[in-house]
Structure 1
């Protein structure tokens, strides 16, 4: 993988984040806060469906891609069990559609539930098709498949400003479904040569059992992670109001810079690590990658703190709290991304259960703090719970990896992320009352980050400047520029 490939993968997340800066304010201006909160429930339900029904086999596909001879059979073996489970659950929930819609959205219209089912199905299929592009390193096709649906969604929102539309939740949910279906169509077209070979491929029960033995523990870990991710939204839905949920949802959306970093990194990282393992590469290089990732995480966090005041100029007045909340929200994607580097030992040693226990520990923290703070503090309590939970998540995954694989330096990692989370919490609590605008304090941290990570910045610059080896700042190997994996 070279820099050209990395940049091709980066186009999608960067463009998606840019479009998100237009889409989120558009939704906030066009639709009432209650409908913005309901859309958040749709999104977390879709993410739950994809996590549950793929049975961990999406991760198994990535893990085994370089070791299976028949990749069409691998795709079929990973897709079919989860899709069969999805169809079964759809049939079972048929008599309860109105009740589920009322519980999720506060509106007992069955259409809302079945549009949600269509969203889950489209996202599930798209997930496996996207893995084909990801593993084949077809970065530009992968990026375009992300960007075009966002453009379609934004155009639909523009049309909804016409007087002919009622601007109801029904229209908002339908617009979201249209964007997901466009994703599916684009992925299906770009991967038609691959999934068409998977259809007639022969797959044995033994092969499926082998994949499930790796993926099943990840089902629980995935569902637990969804719970960790969704606890704040569910707590706000049941212990607070839809308006508070809307403020939280917009705050999370404005933390999109962190999501860009997470998306680019995770798309590239897992396939690269397992390729290193398959080729017997010296894995001590991961220590340098971890320190460089920490530098980028801290820089993004500080830049967001410095520029978060911009949210006041693009959102309605009822979302003035977003600029304080988003710094805690950005901890979720940034700490998750950093943990993807520090927890590689779990995947390499196939100790999948440790991912589950790490996530459960963070989930317990999130639930406890949410139940404590959300009833009295609404969205503020939810973002505090989320920030603390993901700090625990990062530390637990890192320690588990060091225990089962190899010890590596961790004190600097922990010190930096604790300071970042602490400053975010201080901003949330005291930012509205500070005599000096809080963004100046974050601005003062910029030269500190630049100096403290000066060795990492220099290393990343040299790697990017040479455009050699494995490419990019991920790949400081210490080997000659002729080496390409």
Structure 2
């Protein structure tokens, strides 16, 4: 990896790291101020906000990214507004749907019909749409420091508004929703100011871009299905808890999810880092398959270690949430599997990406999503949030398996899959044991066993990698 690429990566990633600690501080505060039911309702609101974003943006953001560097630099502002036309039209249609059927929609979200919540949802979707584009403008100009600044401001603004509205309104769920929406609206203003050359109104009248409206539509439309299925795959656990359990269970589940934030940041940061490195390596030396095996070994070892540590200190982490959320300790152990297997699969899915077999991603998402829906349908009515976490863990193992096997058809690498599956079984047993154990110290002592087995299983590989670390680093 070149020095400039690494420098750029660090610029884009430090905001995520600072945001992690600010996010944890916000979680610690809000779980002491708001009951689990409030968290559950806000989770549903955020869920619909996200699916509204998928529907309205209609893949046009992907077209903006794809065509950005092909467009003349003076015409990129015109491209921005051209790619915004379809999303704005879709937003108008979705607004009519939400306002017309606000009663059943808001009842599903917060268990009461509310035109106020419907209006907030519409404003939130519009704000999210514009925020997405302001972020893309900054990202595509490779302004890493500004991108990180926006991420930090998002956490700071949100925490500030939560405190302000809490003292004005009390511990109502509306406080968390309003804080989120106003934060996004402020960030849109900041983002538009930063990229003001792109957002000049005279760019709307400029029609002479290299790519037509039809090209934008044709490129972006296929992403809608893929992104929607991926959203359903990662969100059905929450939908299942809303349907077959209650808001308290959903709130506990959402709080437990925030405790695996460290591993989630590793997932996001590694994905940002890995994609350009993998493509660059494949272009320069496609025959060097050992490199991809070694990266998979390193990331697997680190993530399994993080999983074991997270499970062993789950009671410490849950204690940060406050007494009302102590039941989240039995939910958390299996939630670590989601970021772990997504991240490891990013290193093993490369064959599909290298050979541009992107339709395979739809097949993968459909199969994994089907397992997740079936698992939640069976487990959530009986076990609540614990059932949702187990189903999610199992479906992400399936996700990793399918990604790896299909990738091997196009670019065969000797991945340590047997070792990964052995560690999966070991960590699964520890997670299941940890669900029922109540003694904090005994949970830590038992955690020594999977840690020892992890080191034993990967010892030879890690030793050889450390021994030849200079050669490996030179390849990056």
Fold in common (TM above 0.5) = yes
Shift, 1:371, TM fit: 0.9
Inter-CA distance 192–124: structure 2 relative to 1 (3 Å threshold)? same
1:51 corresponds in structure 2 to: 54
The CA deviation string for residues 359-398 of structure 1, in whole angstroms up to 9 with x for no partner, is: 1111111111111111111100010111111111122222
Tell me the alpha carbon deviations over residues 35-68 of structure 1, each in whole angstroms, 9 at most, x when there is no partner: 1100111121222222333333434444555555
Moved more, 171-180 or 228-237: 171-180
Is 1:33 matched with 2:36?
yes
Structure-2 separation of matches of 1:352 and 1:184: 32
Alignment partner, residue 124 of structure 1: 129
Query: Which blocks of at least 5 consecutive residues in structure 1 are unaligned?
Result: 470-474, 480-485
Q: Which residue of 2 aligns with 1:365?
A: 371
Structure-2 separation of matches of 1:289 and 1:365: 28
- Using the alignment, how far apart are the partners of 2:116 and 2:468 within structure 1? 55
Structure 2-normalised TM-score? 0.86
The 1-side partners of 2:35 and 2:15 are apart by 29
Superposed CA offset, 1:187-230 (max 9, x none): 22222234449645536696444454444332211111111111
Residue 390 of structure 2 is aligned to residue 393 of structure 1: no
Partner in structure 1 of residue 120 of structure 2: 115
The structure-2 alpha-carbon separation of the partners of 1:36 and 1:421, relative to structure 1 and needing over 3 Å to count, comes to farther
Contact kept, 8 Å, 2:311 with 2:434, in 1: the verdict is no
Moved more, 236-245 or 64-73: 64-73
After superposition, give the CA deviation of every residue in 1:286-309 in whole Å (9 maximum; x if it has no partner): 444333332332232233223322
Q: Could you say which residue in structure 2 is the equivalent of 1:380?
A: 386
Contact 1:153-1:179 within 8 A present in 2 as well: yes
Give the TM-score of the pair, scaled to structure 1: 0.85
Moved more, 258-267 or 193-202: 193-202
Deviation at 1:246, TM superposition (A): 0.7
Q: In the alignment, is residue 437 of structure 1 matched against residue 442 of structure 2? A: yes
Query: d(CA) in 2 for partners of 1:428 and 1:203?
Result: 60
Q: Report the number of matched residues.
A: 465
**1:253 corresponds to:** 258
Could you say which residue in structure 2 is the equivalent of 1:478?
A: 475
CA deviation after TM superposition for structure 1 residue 92, in Å: 3.2
Q: Any idea what SS the aligned residue of 1:192 has?
A: coil
Equivalent position to 1:92, from 68, 93, 97: 97
Correspondence for 1:483: none
Q: CA RMSD in A?
A: 3.1
Distance (Å, rounded) in 2 between the aligned partners of 1:322 and 1:138: 39
Q: Please give the secondary structure, in 1, of the residue aligned with 2:284.
A: coil
1:42 aligned to 37, 42, 45, which one?
A: 45
Q: Where do residues 18-417 of structure 1 align in structure 2 (5 Å cutoff)?
A: 18-69=21-72, 72=76, 74-162=79-167, 164-196=168-200, 199-202=204-207, 207-270=212-275, 280-283=283-286, 284=289, 285-403=291-409, 405-410=410-415, 412-413=416-417, 415-416=419-420
